[in-house]
């Protein structure tokens, strides 16, 4: 299993690209989220949207989904195929009704021919139940479990525990997704994964980061040393980076950095 961070920046980062992750395992090339910059990041890496087989959506903020319309049009009209779209049924319903439907509902396959579309016309939709382990559709070796996160009150959002089997703990990692500082989620990752890729806001928005919707560097720095040494940080802004390695972390992930397990 190879994990590559196509982008590592926060929503408004100008330097680091939005956080998009590519997981490669056998014939599967799975994107975790898909921002507008994802297509160009893939080209830098040496692939194209045509190579992608699966996309998993963690939540509906624009920096995580705005590249999906390009994927939908290109796979449907240019490549004549459908890639697999993964998330919970409720999140997929909202993705279509509140984000994608406006641009994708009507297309003309022939001039003047109006055709009404649904999400299933563009993707092979594969709903997942949160917290349950399941195989990636089409790949029995690659499995993951959606972990609910506490990002923005009222918003459905997830992290992922991902495993390539057989392999156990050493081939399993936690991708936190966007989340406030959540000791329970981190403990889950520390128990069930060898590496934790964690959301990291560089600033603290007040006492105990009370107004933050992302875990702050200051909060994460208080974690147990054994957890910090297995934690890589991403989804950060354009400010100068602190010395993460000196503070006991594995480090800040750089754009196009890969991890192989």
Average pLDDT (91-116) is 92
Average pLDDT (78-103) is 96
Element (H, E) at 190: helix 183-192
* Torsion on CA atoms 215, 216, 222, 224, rounded to nearest 10: 40
Residue 167, pLDDT score: 66
Residue 168 pLDDT level (bands cut at 50, 70, 90)? low
At the top level of CATH, which class does the domain 2-260 belong to? alpha beta
Residue 171 pLDDT level (bands cut at 50, 70, 90)? confident
Q: What percent of the chain has pLDDT over 70?
A: 97
Mean pLDDT of the chain: 92
Average pLDDT (212-224) is 95
Long-range contacts of range 116-119, CB-CB < 8 Å, 24 or more positions apart? 119/85, 119/92, 119/95
Residue pair 56/87 in contact (Cβ under 8 Å)? The answer is yes
Residue 159 pLDDT level (bands cut at 50, 70, 90)? very high
118: nearest Cα among 135, 101, 143, 99: 101
**pTM of the model as a whole:** 0.94
Residue 221, pLDDT score: 96
Domain ranges of the chain: 2-260
Which residues have a catalytic role annotated? Answer: 69, 106
């Amino acid at each position: 299993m190879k994990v590559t961070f196509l982008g590592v920046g926060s929503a408004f980062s100008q330097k680091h690209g939005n956080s998009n992750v590519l997981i490669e395992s056998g014939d599967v090339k799975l994107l975790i989220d898909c921002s507008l910059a994802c297509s160009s990041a893939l080209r830098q890496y040496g692939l194209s949207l045509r190579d992608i087989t699966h996309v998993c959506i963690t939540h509906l903020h624009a920096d995580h989904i705005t590249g999906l319309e390009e994927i939908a049009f290109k796979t449907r009209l240019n490549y004549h195929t459908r890639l697999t779209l993964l998330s919970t049924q409720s999140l997929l319903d909202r993705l279509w009704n509140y984000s994608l439907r406006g641009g994708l509902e009507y297309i003309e396959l022939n001039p003047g021919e109006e055709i009404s579309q649904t999400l299933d016309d563009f993707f092979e939709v594969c709903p997942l139940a949160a917290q349950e382990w399941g195989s990636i559709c089409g790949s029995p070796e690659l499995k993951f479990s959606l972990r609910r996160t506490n990002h923005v009150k009222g918003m459905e959002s997830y992290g992922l525990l991902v495993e390539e089997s057989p392999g156990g703990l050493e081939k399993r990692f936690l991708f936190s997704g966007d989340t406030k500082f959540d000791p329970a989620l981190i403990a889950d990752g520390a128990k069930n994964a060898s590496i934790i890729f964690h959301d990291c806001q560089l600033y603290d928005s007040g006492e105990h980061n009370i107004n933050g919707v992302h875990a702050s560097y200051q909060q994460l720095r208080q974690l147990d040393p054994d957890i910090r040494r297995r934690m890589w940080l991403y989804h950060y802004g354009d400010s100068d980076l602190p010395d993460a390695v000196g503070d006991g972390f594995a480090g800040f992930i750089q754009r196009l950095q890969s991890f192989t397990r």
